Structure 1
Amino acid sequence: MTLKDRITEDMKAAMRAKEADRLSTIRMLLAACKQKEVDERVVLDDAAVIGIVDKLIKQRKDSIAAFQQAGRTDLVDKETAEVAVLSAYLPQRLTADEIGTEIAALVAELGAAGPGDMGKVMGAAKAKLAGKADMGLVSAAVKQALSR
């Protein structure tokens, strides 16, 4: 069963269970997937769906930060619940130590040295770790590895 099929089945289960909040989040995810398929005229594989989930989670986290600054706890709670639903569709994430190890290997492999090579290392890291790690943590690990 593909990830997209699993999301569709979860939508049906949320409908049956009358879980309105979960249902709206899953529908939003499926709409984003469908939009990408229509725009690019492709059928999404699991990696592309994970990319969309990552993007939606990042948007929710940005919104949470903005809502917290504005003191809107009601909206913070809603966005946090959406992040929890979306996170269920991501594979197991790498820990900070595992990310550091992967980045150290990439830096050695590419022969990168200094902050000027940040783009080169990030490009390789994104290709290798997309969907497996939080790219914010990856960026921080790359900066740290290149500043040594």
Structure 2
Amino acid sequence: MLRDTIKTETVTAMKAKDKERTAALRLISAKIKDRDIEMRGKDVPDDDAMVIDVLQKMAKQRRESIQMYEDGGRTELAAQEKQELAVIEEFLPQQMSEAETKAKIEEIKAELGAEGMKDMGRVMGELKKRHGTELDMGRASGWVKESLS
């Protein structure tokens, strides 16, 4: 399980006295624990999928922060965010390429008989259900819109 891998890596980083990596791993663990608290009493179908969702959100936040820090000339803060992003990305599954994603969109569109923008929700829902952990839904949304228009 991904959660166990993160715990093991945290212990390894602590033993190696790698402060930056330990801090990033602790941030990840804290976010996962926050999500656990949010999900109390609710049915959580797949723990790894939940952990991947948390990691994807963290990665997206880091990318946005890096861009803002670089635009603001705060290179030292951007460097710290880049380092955290590198640790987060170690635990994310390999992301699908643009071509692979567009092929999956076309496949789902054909299966559902989707023809126009009115079907975007159905296509996005099915895409997320099948491949949510392997792609950036923000970018995929644009491609679905492009495909349906």
TM-score by length of 2: 0.90
The residue number in structure 1 matching 2:128 is: 126
How far did 1:99 drift?
0.5
SS in 2 for 1:131: helix
Q: In structure 2, what residue type is equivalent to 1:12?
A: V
Moved more, 9-18 or 131-140: 131-140
The residue number in structure 1 matching 2:98 is: 96
Give the 5 Å matches for 1:1-148: 2-41=1-40, 45-147=47-149
Q: In structure 1, what residue type is equivalent to 2:71?
A: Q
In structure 1, C-alpha distance between the alignment counterparts of 2:71 and 2:113, rounded to whole Å = 42
How far did 1:117 drift?
2.5
How far did 1:100 drift?
0.7
TM-score by length of 1: 0.91
Q: In structure 2, what residue type is equivalent to 1:22?
A: R
How far did 1:52 drift?
0.5
Gaps of at least 5 residues in structure 1 are none
Deviations along 1:13-60, one digit per CA (max 9) or x if unpaired, are 100111111111110110111111122226771111011000100111
How far did 1:12 drift?
0.3
Gaps of at least 5 residues in structure 2 are none
Q: Please, what is the CA RMSD of the aligned residues?
A: 1.5
Runs of 4+ in 1 over 6 A off after TM superposition: none
Moved more, 114-123 or 36-45: 36-45
In structure 1, C-alpha distance between the alignment counterparts of 2:117 and 2:73, rounded to whole Å = 37
SS in 1 for 2:102: helix
* Identical aligned residues as a percent: 40
How far did 1:76 drift?
1.0
How far did 1:92 drift?
1.6
Q: In structure 1, what residue type is equivalent to 2:23?
A: S
